[in-house]
Structure 1
Amino acid sequence: MEIVIVGGIAAGMSVAAKAVRTNKEAVVTVIEKEKFVSFGACGLPYYLGNQFDDQNEMFARTPEQMRKTGINILLEHEVTAVDFATKTVTMTDLTTGETKSKVYDRLMLATGAQPIVPPIPGIDASNVYTITKPGPVAELKARLPEFQNVVVIGGGFIGVEVADQLAIQGKKVHLIEADTAIMGGPFDPEFSAKLQTAVEAEGVVIHLEERAQTFVTTDGVVTSVKTDKGEYPADVVIVAVGFRPNTGFLKGQLEMLGNGAIVIDAYGRTSVEDVFAAGDCATVPHRLAGNVYLPLATVANKMGRIIGTNIAVAKEEMEAFAGALGSSAIKAGEYEAASTGLTEKQAQNLGLDYKTTCIETNNHSNYYTVQEKIMIKLVYDAKTHVLYGAQLFGKNETVLRATGLTTAIHAGMTTKELGFVDYAYAPPFASTWEAINVAANTAK
C-alpha cells in the first residue's frame, strides 16, 4: 500500500508515525515544502518573549529521526495538484524547480493554514512580521533590541500572547483589534474583559473596534500605523489576524467550508474515496457543535493519530474520533484563562435551551498562604442540566481545573453530578468544596 501524506508539521507527521507502526507493509511518504517537520508553532510567542532560547525545543522530531522509523520524507517539495481520478500527486522540487509526480493508494492532506495578510498599504515592509515560522521569528527576535514601539494587529491567541510577552520586556505595545473584545472566539464578554485588564496591567494599550488602514513607511520601513481612529508610532508591526486553510490548489475538487477548510467525517475521511485530511486545513468533528473549523495543535495531533490507523487498515477496522471540545488556554500577565466546550454565544447560535452560572470562589483554604479568586462560568442545558461548556479565569491553579471540566463535558455529566464529584483536597490545593463543585452547585 502506497500512503502519501501532504504536509509534515503536526497532523501529517502524526499520521505517518502511526501508519508505519500500524501497517508494516505500507510505504509511507511525506511531502513537505519546508526544510523541517514536526514543528510546534505554539511556542513562538514564548520564544520571542525569552521564555526559552533554543528553537530546537519546538521540534518534536527531526527528519532524520523520522526516516529511521521507515518514513520516506521529501523536504522542500510543494504539492501543486492532485488528480483524484488517477490517484496522482503532482509536486515541484523547490530546490531544482523540477516537476515530479507520485501515485498513491491512500492520500492524507495535512497542508495546514497560512496567516491572513490583509491588503493594508505598506504591509510588505521589512519590519512587518507574522508569527508562524521559525526563520522570520528568529530574525525578529534578533532585531528586538533595536525596536521599542510595537504595534500588534489582532487580538486572538497569537496577538495577545505576543503583546504580553513583549510588554514584559519593556516594549511599548499597542494592540489593535477590530472586534468589540479581545479573545472573543473562545471566551464570552466577561472573560474577554478580564483578559483585557490582565494584559493592560502589563502595559499593553488595547484599542477595540479599531481597524488598521495604512502602514506609513519610509524607505520600505514602517514608521507608524494609521487606523480609522488614530495613528501610533511603530518600530515593528506584528500581524496576527487569523488563518486561512492552505487548500486553494484543491478548490472545487473536495467538499469544503466557505473558508476553504476540507470537510471530514469522524474517521478523517473527505468527500473523495481514499483521501483523508486533518489539521489546520480541515474541519474538526465537535462533540456538541457538529463539523467546525478549529485550528488547534491538540486536535491536529489527535486526529492525526486516528487517521494514522485508518489510512493503513481495511475499512471495517477503522476507528472513529470521539470528537473535540475546542479546549484552549492562554496566559495573560499574572493571570491565566481556559475555555472548553460551548461558550454562551455558541450555545445561543446553536439554538440550545441553556442556562449559565458564573461565580468567583477561592482556589484553596483561606488559612493557606496566597489564596486567590477563580472565576468560573458554566453553560448547561436548562432542563437536563447536562454541562455544555466552561470558562475559567484566575492566577495559579486555574487552567488545570479546566481538565476536570473538559472530562465532565466529554462524559455528558450534569451540573448536579459535578457538584458532588469527589475531588482531592488538601489546604494548599483546594477547599473541602473544590472550586468546580462550588460552581456546579450554583447551577439552578
Structure 2
Amino acid sequence: MKVSIIGCTHAGTFSAMNILKEHPDWEVSVFERNDNLSFLSCGIALWVSDRVSDPNKMFYSSPEDLSQLGAHMYMGHDVTDINFDNKKLNVTNLTTGEKFEQEYDKLVITTGSAPIVPNIPGIDSDRVFLCKNWENAKELKDNAPKIKSAIVIGAGYIGAELAEGYSTLGKETTLIDALPNVLAKNFDENMSKIAEQDFKDHGVKLGMSEKVVSFEDNGDSVKVITDKSEYTADIAVMCVGFKPNTDMFKDNFETLDNGALIVDKYMHTSKPDVFSAGDAASVHYNPTNNNQYIPLATNSVRQGILVGKNIEKDVVPYIGTQSSSAVELFGRTYAASGLTAVHANILNKKVDSITYEDNYRPEFMLTTEKVTINLIWDPETREILGGALTSMYDVSQSANLISLAIQKKVTIDELAMVDFLFQPNFDKPINYVSAAAIAASEK
C-alpha cells in the first residue's frame, strides 16, 4: 500500500508515525516544504523571552526519526497539484527545481494552517513580523536583544503571551486587538479584565477595540495606524490568527466556510481514500455538537493518531474536542475548556452560568491564592458545557477535569458530588471545582 502525506508538522508527524506503527510494511512518503518538522510553535514567546532551556527541544521529532521508522522523507518539496481521479501528485524539489509525479493509494492531507495576513497598506515592511513557524521564531529571537519597543497585533493566546514576553524583557510594549478585550475568544469579560489589569500594571499599553488600517516604515521604526490611534515601535508582530492551508485543493472537498476540510469521526474527507487531520481539517466540537475550526496542536496530534489507526479500516472513532487550553501571563494561570457565555450567545445557544470565587486552600495555611471560576451549563439538561479558571495558583489541570466533564456529559449536580481529595496543601474540604458546581446547582 502506498500512502502519501502532504505536510508534516503535528498532524502529519503523528499520522506518519502511527501509520508505520500499524503497517510497518507499507510505503509511506512524506512531503514537506520546510527543512524541519514537529516544531512546537506554542513555545515561541517563551523562547523569545528567555524561558526555554534549549530551542532544539522544541522539536519532538525529525526527518531522521521518521526515516528510521521507514518513511520516505521528501523535505524541501512542494506538492503543486493533486490529481484525485488518477491518484497522482505533482511534486517540485524546492532546492533543485526538479519536478516529478508520485502515485498513491491513500492520501493524507495535513497541510496545516497559515497565519492570517490582512491586505493592509505597509504590511510588507521588514519591520512587520509573523509568529507561526521556526523561521519566524528565529527572526523574533534574533531581534529581541536589539529592540527597545514592540507592538503586538492580536490579543489571543499567542499575541498576549508574546506581549507579556516582551514586557518581561523590559521592552516598551503595546498590545492591539479589534475585539474589546484581551483573550476575548477564550474567556468571558470578568477574566479578560483581570488580564488587562495585569498588562497595565506591567506597563503594557493596550489598544482594545482598535482595528489596524495601515503601517508606515520609518526606516528605524514602524508606525501602526489604527482606526482610533497611532503607535510607533521598533517592530510590529502580527498574531491575528490562522486559516487552513487548503487553497490549492479545497474546491474538491466538502469544507467549512473558511476552507477547512470536513472530516468524519474516522478522519475521512468527502473524497474516497483521502484523509485529513490537524489545522487543515475540521474538528467535532462537543459543546455544540457540530464541526468547527479549532487549530490546536492537541487536536492535530489526536487526529494524526486516528489517521494511523483508521488508514486501512475504520476502527477507532474520534471522540471530539472541548478546545481545552491554558496560558500563563505574569505568573497568573488562565485555563479553559468548552463554551464561554459570550461564545454561547454568539451561537444563539441558551446557557446558564455562574462565577465563583474562593481561596484554593484553607486560610490557616501561611499562604493561599484566590481562584475565580466561570461555569457554563445547559439549563435544561444541566450538563456542563464550559468552564474557565484563573488564579496565581496553578489551576490548569482543573480545566482538564472540566474538559472530561463536558465530554462525558456530566451535570452540575454530579460534579458537585464528585469524590475529590482534601488535603490543606492543595484544597479545602470542598474542592473549588465542586464548590463552583454546588453554587451552580443551587442557582
* TM-score normalised by the chain length of structure 2: 0.96
- Aligned pairs for 1:65-76 (under 5 A) are 65-76=65-76
Is 1:439 the counterpart of 2:436? The answer is yes
Bigger drift between 110-119 and 187-196 goes to 187-196
- The worse-fitting range, judged by mean Cα deviation, of 116-125 and 253-262 is 116-125
2:211 match? 211
2: CA distance, partners of 1:409 / 1:252:
34
Change (3 A) 1:403 1:79: same
Write the distance in 1 (CA, Å) between the matches of 2:140 and 2:388: 33
Q: Deviation per CA, 1:155-175: give whole Å up to 9, x if none.
A: 111110100011011111011
5+ residue gaps, structure 1: none
What pairs with 1:384-403 in structure 2 (closer than 5 Å)?
Answer: 384-403=381-400
Over 3 Å counting, the alpha-carbon distance change for 1:352 and 1:151 in structure 2 is: closer
Deviation at 1:350, TM superposition (A): 4.1
**Counterpart in 2 of 1:264?**
263
CA RMSD after TM alignment:
1.4
- Taking the TM superposition and a 5 Å limit, the aligned residue runs for 1:117-128 are 117-128=117-128
Aligned to 1:358: 355
Q: Is the 8 A contact 2:198 2:330 kept in 1?
A: yes
Query: Contact (CA 8 Å) 1:122, 1:222: kept in 2 or not?
Result: no
Shift of residue 53, structure 1, vs aligned partner: 4.8
* Map 1:315-330 → 2, pairs under 5 A: 317-330=314-327
Identity of aligned residues (%): 33
Give the equivalent residue in structure 1 for 2:245: 246
Deviations 1:275-309 (A, max 9, x none): 01111111111223210000000010001101111
Q: Which residue of 2 aligns with 1:283?
A: 282
Deviation at 1:60, TM superposition (A): 0.4
- Please say if residues 381 and 388 of structure 1, whose CA atoms lie closer than 8 Å, have aligned partners that are also in contact: yes
Contact 2:114 2:245 in 1 (8 A): yes
Contact map agreement 2:287 2:406 (CA 8 A) in 1: no
Residue in 2 that maps onto 1:172: 172
Q: Tell me the SS of whatever aligns to 1:249.
A: coil
- Aligned ranges for residues 124-163 of structure 1 at < 5 Å? 124-163=124-163
Letter in 2 for 1:174: T
Q: Which residue among 413, 416, 422 is the counterpart of 1:425?
A: 422
Q: Tell me, yes or no, if the aligned pair for 2:116 and 2:241 is still in contact at 8 Å.
A: yes
Does the residue aligned with 2:3 lie in a helix, a strand or coil? strand
One-letter amino acid of the counterpart of residue 267, structure 1: Y
In structure 1, distance between residues paired with 2:138 and 2:38: 18
Q: How many residues align?
A: 440
Q: Which amino acid aligns with 2:6?
A: V
Q: Deviations over 1:358-381 (max 9, x none)?
A: 111111111112211111111112
Q: Which secondary structure state, in structure 1, belongs to the residue aligned with residue 206 of structure 2?
A: strand
- Distance in 1, Cα, partners of 2:178 & 2:105: 46
2:127–2:222: 8 Å Cα contact kept in structure 1? no
Question: 2:37 matched to 1:40?
Answer: no
The AA in structure 1 aligned to 2:272 is E
**CA distance in 2 between partners of 1:58 and 1:170 (Å):** 25
Shift of 1:214: 2.2
Quick one: distance in 2 between partners of 1:340 and 1:388? 8
Residue 17 of structure 1: aligned partner: 17
Which is further off, 130-139 or 105-114?
130-139
Of stretches 322-331 and 120-129 in structure 1, the one that deviates more from structure 2 is 120-129
Matched AA of 1:82: I
Instruction: Look up the match of 1:333.
Output: 330
Query: What's the counterpart of residue 368 of structure 2?
Result: 371
SS of aligned partner of 1:68: helix
Partner SS, residue 288 of structure 1: coil
Contact 2:222/2:236 (<8 A) preserved: no
2:242 equivalent to 1:234 = no
Tell me, in whole angstroms, the C-alpha distance in 1 between the residues paired with 2:162 and 2:16. Answer: 32
The residue matched to 2:69 in structure 1 has which SS? coil
- TM-score (ref. length: structure 1): 0.96
Aligned-residue offset at 1:10: 0.2
- Is 1:346 aligned to residue 334 of structure 2? no
Contact 1:362–1:373 at 8 Å: present in 2 too?
yes
